[in-house]
Structure 1
Amino acid sequence: MSGKDWKKQRRFRQAFARQLQKMLHKPLLMPPYNGPLHSIAILAQEKYGDAILLTPLLRQLSIHFPKTEVHLITFSQATHDFFRNDRNIDALHFAKGNTIAYYRRILSRRFDLLFNTKDHPSTSFLLQSLIIRARRKAGIDCPYHRGIYDYLVDLDFHTQVALKNCALLALLGKPVKSDDCRPYIPEKPLSETVRTFLHSLPERHYIGINISAGGATRYWTEENWKRLSENFTDDKFVLFSAPGDHEQKERLERSCPNIIPSPATRNLYEVSMIAARLKLLITPDTAMVHVASCVNTPVIGLYGIAPQDQSRFMPFMVKHRIIVSSTAFVRDISPDQAVKTCQEMLRK
């Protein structure tokens, strides 16, 4: 999407939110919510990183409100599959799936509480907030959510997203400490090839490299990854990649003698099982940063210059270092910066 198209969409979302604010004009209620809580509907964001950072809230809801039905509503097939085996939710729904089933399971019933996890205006999330019936509705505070929701999570915009999600517990009268908000990856069956690879992988000896990213501006170059590995001839590396980057992964494994071949992974759970056995993970700003948080593996994150990416999606509850590009492009981080930071992390 071009910058012009993105700005056009942003203006449309903001205009749509303003119309809802004028139409609903809800007074803001002071927490805690003290009504019935037999059921809660949560709108889950579309990307893997957002999905991972939602898991601490799901776990804490199951602990503090074990009798509450938690209904999770997803908006992408990827996150729907991610949450499919999550034991902390009672029902999983796909907003863009079967219309009749969605009406029967969601739109025809009334929930006690709805929670929008986005901290900025989203047309689809605002529309679902409007059409899903709930006794009370909660969101994260931003200028475009005021007057639409009964309760708002009032935290600084740059607060880490996992903490923003868990702040819903404070609105419900059950605040939790940040130490209780470690994310997790829902379990899935392991393939035989990954299981065999795990048995051959010594614990906390190898360094992990993730070469994939969620957008073009977040990729480091193949040559940079190669130069990084060449500076650590006494160490061995394991590479991760999304399916679209598998050819680059194989080229690096062939050309760099200290990068060991590893099997393709089918899902983030398999990725996390490998990451849990590493002594360090190096990755661009993408979901792999949060996979490291799940398994408590130290991580070096490569970020663009945008401060909101560094703050809201920083590594959480894990030893880490962040390397920030001088531009919006991660590729402008020099290999020397990464080598130096990696050396410092390994010494520690």
Structure 2
Amino acid sequence: MNFKKADQLIRNLNHKRIDASRSGVLALMAFFLNRISRFTKGPIGDEPILVLRLDDKVGDSVTATGFLRELKRSHPKNKLMVVAGPLTAQIYRPLAFIDEIIIAKKGIVSTWRTFFKLNDRSFKYIINTSHILTPRVLFLTSLLKSYKKLSFLNRDYSLFSDHIDFNFHDHHVTERYRRTLLHLDIQEAKLHYELKVDDDLLKAAATQINNLKKGERKIIALNCFAGARLRNFKKDTTFKLVKGLLQNSKVVVVSIGNAGDLNVIKTWISELNDPRWVCFENNPGLFENCALVHFADLLITPDTAWVHLGSALQKKIIAVYREDSLLEKNSVIWSPYYHTETAIVMAPFHQDQPFDINTVNVDQIVELAHKMLGLS
């Protein structure tokens, strides 16, 4: 029995079950909420703009920063409010162009609290920034008052007044924002990402990195783990990659990750036992890792979230993705968004086999890394 194929089949069936259940709940809610969505007759003055960023995905939240900045730039007198999850709030809180953040955790109680906080206001726009709808997005969008309510795709939901079309499988993740801004008559928007890292964290990271940069060494920040198991670098892949990178004596590899990731990485480092592969166990937080990447010369990652974080920090990046298919062009959708040197390496994708990022050509990554660092 092919256990990989069986595992993939079970995963696919489970996804279909979840999607069917979710679609049923959304259809039932839409049946009622489409009919009672609350609109104002028109913008009277400087009503606030409300943006919903409820999925709490780090990478997607970063990709929306340029959109939020341009929205505020074109509406300087309108208060820009964002309803966001706790992780997203960490990213948005330091950004001066966001006037207020309402933290909304998952669950019915938090959704009701958010509704009561906002119910006495009328908004100029309510904009949902994910094309994937959830019950709480429908609930808040329908029952809060606004002149316009904007959503991506989702034309079957008349609780929204405006629908922005784009091709999710063929357009860069920022295209939805560009089209939304054009829909609002905001021309020539600059959608580069923004990320603010605390000065104290930068000072601490600078000390750590400078201690490694003896003799003009190049620092490679390496992230091995992504949001899905089949997009993680396995130990063998990581060892082959690190050994290849360290063949050049001027390279130091700094592994980044959360507390759980670093516990695994620590055992790998001790096993390989090379002093030029390090991790900092006391830096498991998102912004501590961002501070380290800030001072790195190159970032290598299979995780789209770190591609977007690295883009915001304007770093050289090697992104490791699944090979493009006819249905989805990962190299386009999730490509780094700025004009600094970047590269995308593709792991082969076969329709009849479960995808595994570890089929990637590691030698190609090593060669690209040395070339991008001027070491070959």
TM range (shorter): 0.7 to 0.9
How far apart in 2 are the matches of 1:153 and 1:127?
20
Q: Which residue identity does 2:267 align to in structure 1?
A: R
8 Å contact 2:221–2:296 — kept in the other structure?
A: yes
**Where do residues 106-185 of structure 1 align in structure 2 (5 Å cutoff)?**
106-145=118-157, 147-157=158-168, 158-177=170-189, 180-185=190-195
Q: Which residue identity does 1:47 align to in structure 2?
A: K
Counterpart position of 1:4: 13
**Where do residues 303-314 of structure 1 align in structure 2 (5 Å cutoff)?**
303-305=321-323, 307-314=328-335
Counterpart position of 2:69: 59
1:52 CA drift (Å) = 0.7
8 Å contact 1:190–1:270 — kept in the other structure?
A: no
8 Å contact 1:20–1:148 — kept in the other structure?
A: no
Among candidates 299, 302, 311, match of residue 317 of structure 2: 299
1:125-160 CA distances to partner (integer Å, 9 max, x unpaired)?
A: 233322232221001124555x34212223222322
Counterpart position of 1:316: 337
Is 1:88 equivalent to 2:88 in the alignment?
no
Q: Which ranges in structure 2 are unaligned for 5 or more consecutive residues? A: 1-9, 37-41, 350-354
SS in 2 for 1:282: strand
1:247 CA drift (Å) = 1.7
Greater CA deviation, 224-233 or 195-204? 195-204
Q: Which residue identity does 2:60 align to in structure 1?
A: D
8 Å contact 1:72–1:93 — kept in the other structure?
A: yes
Is 1:14 equivalent to 2:43 in the alignment?
no
SS in 1 for 2:174: helix
8 Å contact 1:326–1:332 — kept in the other structure?
A: yes
1:308 CA drift (Å) = 5.0
How far apart in 2 are the matches of 1:37 and 1:214?
40
Per the normalisation by structure 2, the TM-score is 0.79
Among candidates 357, 362, 365, match of residue 338 of structure 1: 365
Structure 1 residues 125 and 331, CA, compared in 2 at 3 Å: closer, same or farther?
Answer: farther
8 Å contact 2:72–2:97 — kept in the other structure?
A: yes
Is 1:247 equivalent to 2:266 in the alignment?
no
How far apart in 2 are the matches of 1:294 and 1:80?
16
How far apart in 2 are the matches of 1:308 and 1:95?
32
Structure 1 residues 263 and 201, CA, compared in 2 at 3 Å: closer, same or farther?
Answer: farther
Structure 1 residues 47 and 343, CA, compared in 2 at 3 Å: closer, same or farther?
Answer: same
Per the normalisation by structure 1, the TM-score is 0.84
Structure 1 residues 83 and 331, CA, compared in 2 at 3 Å: closer, same or farther?
Answer: same
Greater CA deviation, 316-325 or 188-197? 188-197
Identity %: 20
8 Å contact 1:299–1:321 — kept in the other structure?
A: yes
Q: Which residue identity does 1:216 align to in structure 2?
A: R
C-alpha root-mean-square deviation of aligned residues, in Å?
A: 3.0
Q: Which residue identity does 1:209 align to in structure 2?
A: L
Max Rg structure: 2
